[in-house]
């Protein structure tokens, strides 16, 4: 059969999509990037906040149309929306033929074939290095999910309810997977999880992420490589972790650390603790330990009880911290979250205004920080011809994570034309609010080998992606 996929939400969900694709191909099915061609369509959903839920339902209904207009016989819905609303989907969306949750990825083939899947105890699922997987990211860049679930009690968050308790992948399994990827010519690996900084705690490891990063940095390759991790929890960012990043050139000088707010009283109601002073000291320690480090964070505005004074404190903090990247979410009142019961709900107009105000503040900071880079020569990972215009190529600096951050446009190839996946040196010549422009200054890599794995793309969704926070880097 020809199977088509829609993958919504975060990179963790994308890895689940890649695992489901891998199993279907291993079981003899074919993948198609054209919804009209598909015999079966799978929508891997997201549901952590209202806009994400709405997008998931819209996409399911959009894909259901192909059962009327295309070849599709079956529509299968997977992912976080199923975990939260399985019965609602089964009762209210007759277009949907089958559903599977985030711990049931190994049922995908049976459900696509319309067979009753073998009842598998819904063990908390975690793929490993021998799991079949089809890559959907560009050949030179890939995600590795190093853990699943979360044990933190953040009162606004429902993710632990459907992703389950925190569990790490086996250390050597991650090392083998990465070694295999580098052998395929992957140049950049992004480690992901709900909270990567807890890695190994469930095995009794201390500073497990630092140990893992150290080992990954030592995997020998004949080409320069980058390893980045996303989703750090602030009070888990240890000196050992920072020293490890500083010690290895291939570890990205990049810290993605959602702080969610800066006002002590708001953070207390969020069940996250800390405050602006504690965070400013942490940021100072990060910048002192890792020269040139880029720091990304995300904030929530409009949390129940957030006063004008709390928001002013958050704005002052953002002004003082001068983050390289900042994403802002509007508080989403999720009915199964602990914060749903809190008083002091903030009206939507105020939430909207606070979001715009914080974004405007960050846009100025981002522009000023980008301008400081003009004239500097930095390593750049070549992505390929720009999606914006074919007059330019684009790439990313170590300080620019895929999908969520800006890019660096290349308007002069210098001593030699670039090739996708190559890591070259760029001199920054122009700076914009979120993106940069520059010219290549070094010779092409000798012994360059084009990365091998060939990505298969899920369907391009017609409607834009409302789950992406209105972040400074969203163009
Ligand atoms: S750490 Fe992240 S995933 Fe875990 S509960 Fe908090 S917000 Fe949710």
Q: What is the pLDDT of residues 107-134, one digit of tens each?
A: 999 999 997 765 555 568 899 999 999 9
Instruction: Record the tokens describing residue 452, joined without a space.
Output: 């091998």
CATH 3.40.50.12160 segments of the chain: 2-121
**Ligand 1 atom closest to residue 163's alpha carbon, by position in its atom list:** 3
So what's the architecture of 141-371 in CATH? Answer: Alpha-Beta Horseshoe (3.80)
The closest residue, in CA terms, to atom 6 on ligand 1 is 154
CATH 2.40.50.140 segments of the chain: 377-440
More confident residue, 330 or 475: 330
CATH 3.80.30.20 segments of the chain: 141-371
Q: What is the pLDDT of residue 41?
A: 97
**Ligand 1 atom closest to residue 157's alpha carbon, by position in its atom list:** 8
- If you average pLDDT over residues 267-295, what whole number do you get? 98
Would you say the CB of residue 267 lies under 6 angstroms from ligand 1?
A: no
Instruction: Please answer whether residues 437 and 428 qualify as being in contact, where contact means their C-beta atoms are separated by less than 8 angstroms.
Output: yes
% pLDDT > 70, the chain: 93
| Topology annotation, domain 377-440 | OB fold (Dihydrolipoamide Acetyltransferase, E2P) (2.40.50)
Instruction: Record the tokens describing residue 188, joined without a space.
Output: 């950049």
Contacts of 110 (CB under 8 A, 6+ apart): 116, 117, 118
Report strand pairing: 74-79 vs 40-45: parallel
Full DSSP string of 372-384 = TTTT-EEEEEEEE
Instruction: Record the tokens describing residue 336, joined without a space.
Output: 């199964």
Q: What is the mean pLDDT of the chain?
A: 93
Would you say the CB of residue 369 lies under 6 angstroms from ligand 1?
A: no
Report strand pairing: 147-148 vs 167-168: antiparallel
Instruction: Please answer whether residues 208 and 200 qualify as being in contact, where contact means their C-beta atoms are separated by less than 8 angstroms.
Output: yes
Pocket test for ligand 1, best of 162, 194, 199, 230 (most atoms within 8 A of CB): 194
Per-residue pLDDT reduced to its tens digit, 227-239: 999 999 999 999 9
Would you say the CB of residue 194 lies under 6 angstroms from ligand 1?
A: yes
Listed range (181-190, 321-330, 463-472) with the worst mean pLDDT: 463-472
Given the structure tokens 């199993």, which residue do they identify? 23
End-to-end CA, the chain: 37
**Ligand 1 atom closest to residue 152's alpha carbon, by position in its atom list:** 5
**Distance from Cα 160 to the centre of ligand 1, integer Å:** 7
Closest to 355 measured CA to CA, from 199, 472, 214: 472
Instruction: Record the tokens describing residue 210, joined without a space.
Output: 């630092």
- Rounded Cα distance, 210 and 232, in Å: 12
Judged by DSSP in three states, 216 sits in helix
**Ligand 1 atom closest to residue 160's alpha carbon, by position in its atom list:** 5
Contacts of 96 (CB under 8 A, 6+ apart): 60, 64, 75, 76, 77, 89, 90
Class of residue 348 by CB neighbours under 10 A (exposed 0-12, middle 13-18, buried 19+): exposed
> How far from 404 is each of 82, 231, 313, 387, 468, CA to CA, in Å?
25, 12, 26, 15, 8
Judged by DSSP in three states, 40 sits in strand
- If you average pLDDT over residues 417-440, what whole number do you get? 96
CATH superfamily of 2-121: Methylthiotransferase, N-terminal domain (3.40.50.12160)
**Distance from Cα 162 to the centre of ligand 1, integer Å:** 12
Cα dihedral sign, 114-463-144-410: positive
**Ligand 1 atom closest to residue 231's alpha carbon, by position in its atom list:** 2
Instruction: Please answer whether residues 167 and 148 qualify as being in contact, where contact means their C-beta atoms are separated by less than 8 angstroms.
Output: yes
**Distance from Cα 233 to the centre of ligand 1, integer Å:** 9
Instruction: Answer left, alpha or beta for residue 164, where phi above 0 means left and psi between -120 and 50 means alpha.
Output: left
Listed range (100-109, 211-220, 312-321) with the worst mean pLDDT: 100-109
The closest residue, in CA terms, to atom 1 on ligand 1 is 152
């Amino acid at each position: 059969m020809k199977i088509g996929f829609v993958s919504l939400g975060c990179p963790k969900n994308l890895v689940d999509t890649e695992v489901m694709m891998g199993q279907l191909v291993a079981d003899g099915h074919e993948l198609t990037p054209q919804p009209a061609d598909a015999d079966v369509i799978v929508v891997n959903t997201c549901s952590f906040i209202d806009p994400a839920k709405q997008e998931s339902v819209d996409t399911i209904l959009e894909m259901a149309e192909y059962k009327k207009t295309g070849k599709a016989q079956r529509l299968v819905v997977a992912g976080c929306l199923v975990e939260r609303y399985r019965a609602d989907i089964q009762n209210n969306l007759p277009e949907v033929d089958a559903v599977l949750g985030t711990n049931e990825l190994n049922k995908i083939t049976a459900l696509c074939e319309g067979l009753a899947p073998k009842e598998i105890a819904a063990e908390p699922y975690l793929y490993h290095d021998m799991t079949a997987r089809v890559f959907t990211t560009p050949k030179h860049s890939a995600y590795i999910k190093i853990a699943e679930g979360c044990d933190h009690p953040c009162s606004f968050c429902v993710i632990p309810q459907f992703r389950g308790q925190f569990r790490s992948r086996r250390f050597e399994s991650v090392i083998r997977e990465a070694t295999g990827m580098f052998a395929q010519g992957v140049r950049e690996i992004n480690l992901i999880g709900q909270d990567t900084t807890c890695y190994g705690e469930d095995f009794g490891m201390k500073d497990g992420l630092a140990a893992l990063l150290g080992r990954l940095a030592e995997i020998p390759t004949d080409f320069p490589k980058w390893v980045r991790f996303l989703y750090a929890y602030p009070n888990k960012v240890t000196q050992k972790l920072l020293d490890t990043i500083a010690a290895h050139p291939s570890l990205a000088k990049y810290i993605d650390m959602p702080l969610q707010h800066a006002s002590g009283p708001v953070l207390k109601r969020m069940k996250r603790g800390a405050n602006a002073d504690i965070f400013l000291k942490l940021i100072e320690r990060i910048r002192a330990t890792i020269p040139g480090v880029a720091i990304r964070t995300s904030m929530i505005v409009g949390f129940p009880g957030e006063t004008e004074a709390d928001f002013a404190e958050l704005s002052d903090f953002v002004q003082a911290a001068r983050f390289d990247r900042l994403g802002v979410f509007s508080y989403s009142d999720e009915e199964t979250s602990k914060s749903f019961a809190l008083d002091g709900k903030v009206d939507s107009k105020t939430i909207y205004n606070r979001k715009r105000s914080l974004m405007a503040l960050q846009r100025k900071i981002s522009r000023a920080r980008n301008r400081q880079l003009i004239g500097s020569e930095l390593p750049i990972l070549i992505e390929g011809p720009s999606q914006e215009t074919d007059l330019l190529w684009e790439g990313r600096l170590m300080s620019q994570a895929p999908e969520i951050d800006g890019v660096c446009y290349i308007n002069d190839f210098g001593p030699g034309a670039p090739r996708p996946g190559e890591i070259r040196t760029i001199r920054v010549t122009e700076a914009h609010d979120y993106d940069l422009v520059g010219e290549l200054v070094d010779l092409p890599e000798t012994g360059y080998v084009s990365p091998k794995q060939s990505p298969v793309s899920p369907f391009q969704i017609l409607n834009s992606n409302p789950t992406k926070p209105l972040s400074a880097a969203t163009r």
